[in-house]
Amino acid sequence: MTARSMMPYVEGNSAIREMFEEGARMAAEYGAENVYDFSLGNPSVLAPEEVNKAIREIVEEEDSLMVHGYNTSNSGYEDVRTTVADHINRINGTSFGAENIIMTVGAASGLNVAIKTLVDPGEEILAFAPYFVEYGNYAANHGVSLRAVPANPEGRNGSEAFSPDIDAMSEMINEKTRAVIINSPNNPTGVIYSEGTIKRLAQVLREKSEEYGREIYIISDEPYRELAYDGAQVPYVTKYYDNTVVAYSWSKSLSLPGERIGYLVIPSEMADFENAVQAANIANRVLGYVNAPTLIQRVAARCIDCVTDIDAYDRNRKALYEGLTEAGYECTYPQGAFYLFVKTPIDDDKEFCAKAKEFNILVVPGSSFACPGYVRIAYCVSHDTIINSLPAFRKLRESLY
Ligand code: PLP
């Protein structure tokens, strides 16, 4: 019999995954070219050739026992962590060393390690809606509850549309609040949080930490850091707030989601730094990740200066935004990541998704991101899929009136 603690997961199984499976079924029935599957954030750009070259070289040139062995600390290879720290410093003007980096099994494990390290069971984490659906599950893994700060679609108090509503967050903080998760560039809105927003967030959290006499951490989830368009800057949050942990991933920036590789940054300025780093190292082990994959740690270090072909996503972004806006949809212009967040022409986003399916369009309801009334379109697909889908989106909208 299934453990009772698993039943909420079984019942609330990810709508995104379900859609993805439905997409595969529809592709088999109608032909892949006639199905517009925008459900999954799986990169459509190939990993850079340097990645494959690095894999071949490492496997051929290095000691196989070392490459595939248990010979890394739970935090990862020291030289890899130094390479990562130097890279972050070069770009952001920070001063991290290997001691600030923990290699992880993608951002997903990094977030779990961060929560296990910083948040006690019974405490609370806040996340700004709309947010990545798994945050609630990750929090629950550690006996922690996640509370959603309501979405800010209009940009309350002069802030940008869908930027964090810091006033609302401030009102929600209580004696149990231990962390706030932020995600910029954002999944699902594509919004990049401005420096002003980060500064204000930091200021309020400093005040609240003082008021309650305990640290409130920022957990900054950054798998899309490199996917910023038009030269947009993504502020490095540790520069504004000491009690920040950054969870980074190469899943999107190098198109390696299946390889499961990322890292955590824990700044030396963080409260109780020595214990925090040690606890995170142990959390990596006891949660069962043990260490980030050894071969891919080495690959990531060799490819530290590589970036994905962001122009391909940019082309999709513009074509989709223009096409849908012209067809009468209300969209948030994405500054980063590879998602477009669209207001549904009818109130019920799930009903809209069901209607979209009749036109062979698969999109994810905003309710899956704690933001009903919208849908997420993942435009990490071929450019042809974008162009070919536009008449279907137009017909879908017309069918609703
Ligand atoms: N955080 C966000 C916002 C994501 O969109 C994803 C994946 O889509 C993750 C975390 C998990 O990424 P990873 O593959 O690095 O575990």
| pLDDT recorded at residue 6 | 76
pLDDT range class, residue 228, cuts 50, 70, 90:
very high
Atom of ligand 1 nearest to the CA of 132: 3
- Quote the ligand 1 centre to 223 CA distance (angstroms): 6
pLDDT range class, residue 14, cuts 50, 70, 90:
low
- Quote the ligand 1 centre to 176 CA distance (angstroms): 26
| Percent of the chain residues topping a pLDDT of 90 | 87
Output the CA–CA distances (angstroms, integers) from residue 89 to 82, 98, 122, 242, in the order listed. Answer: 10, 11, 36, 16
| pLDDT recorded at residue 262 | 98
pLDDT range class, residue 326, cuts 50, 70, 90:
very high
Cβ neighbourhood burial of 86 (10 Å; 0-12, 13-18, 19+): middle
| Closest residue to atom 8 of ligand 1, CA basis | 41
Amino acid letter, residue 166: I
pLDDT in tens, 152-176: 998 887 778 999 999 999 999 999 9
- How does DSSP classify residue 238? G
In three-state secondary structure terms, 217 is strand
Q: Show the tokens assigned to 332.
A: 């948030």
Average pLDDT over residues 39-54: 96
Average pLDDT over residues 232-251: 98
- Quote the ligand 1 centre to 54 CA distance (angstroms): 24
pLDDT range class, residue 10, cuts 50, 70, 90:
confident
pLDDT in tens, 259-311: 999 999 999 999 999 999 999 999 999 999 999 999 999 999 999 999 899 99
| pLDDT recorded at residue 134 | 96
| pLDDT recorded at residue 12 | 66
Which of 108-122, 158-172, 224-238 is predicted least confidently? 158-172
| pLDDT recorded at residue 142 | 98
Atom of ligand 1 nearest to the CA of 109: 16
User: What gap in Å lies between CA 76 and CA 81, rounded to an integer?
Assistant: 7
Average pLDDT, the chain: 95
> Which residues are 181's β-sheet partners?
127, 219
The residue with tokens 């990993």 is 47
Atom of ligand 1 nearest to the CA of 106: 15
| Percent of the chain residues topping a pLDDT of 70 | 98
- Quote the ligand 1 centre to 274 CA distance (angstroms): 27
| pLDDT recorded at residue 155 | 83
The total number of residues shown for the chain amounts to 401
The alpha-helical segments, DSSP class H, found in 123-235 are 134-141, 166-172, 195-212
Average pLDDT over residues 63-69: 90
| pLDDT recorded at residue 183 | 98
pLDDT at 3 > cutoff 80: no
| pLDDT recorded at residue 4 | 77
Higher-pLDDT residue of 103, 65:
103
Within 8 A by CB and 6+ apart from 46, the residues are 255
| pLDDT recorded at residue 218 | 98
- Pocket lining for ligand 1, CB < 6 angstroms: 41, 106-108, 132, 183, 187, 221, 223, 249, 251, 257, 262
| pLDDT recorded at residue 13 | 67
Q: Which of 134, 204, 139 is nearest to 172 (CA)?
A: 204
In three-state secondary structure terms, 139 is helix
User: What gap in Å lies between CA 313 and CA 379, rounded to an integer?
Assistant: 7
User: What gap in Å lies between CA 76 and CA 227, rounded to an integer?
Assistant: 25
Average pLDDT over residues 368-385: 97
pLDDT at 346 > cutoff 80: yes
Count of C-beta atoms within a 10 Å radius of residue 10: 9
User: What gap in Å lies between CA 152 and CA 21, rounded to an integer?
Assistant: 31
The torsion defined by the Cα of 16, 377, 167 and 159, in degrees rounded to 10, comes to 170
Atom of ligand 1 nearest to the CA of 186: 3
pLDDT at 103 > cutoff 70: yes
Q: Residue 128: enclosing H or E segment and its boundaries?
A: strand 124-128
| pLDDT recorded at residue 381 | 97
155: left (phi over 0), alpha (psi -120 to 50) or beta: left
Amino acid letter, residue 295: L
Average pLDDT over residues 23-36: 88
Tell which one of 115, 125, 251 to mutate to probe ligand 1, the residue whose CB is within 8 A of the most ligand atoms.
Answer: 251
| Closest residue to atom 2 of ligand 1, CA basis | 132
- Quote the ligand 1 centre to 234 CA distance (angstroms): 17
The residue with tokens 């890279």 is 87
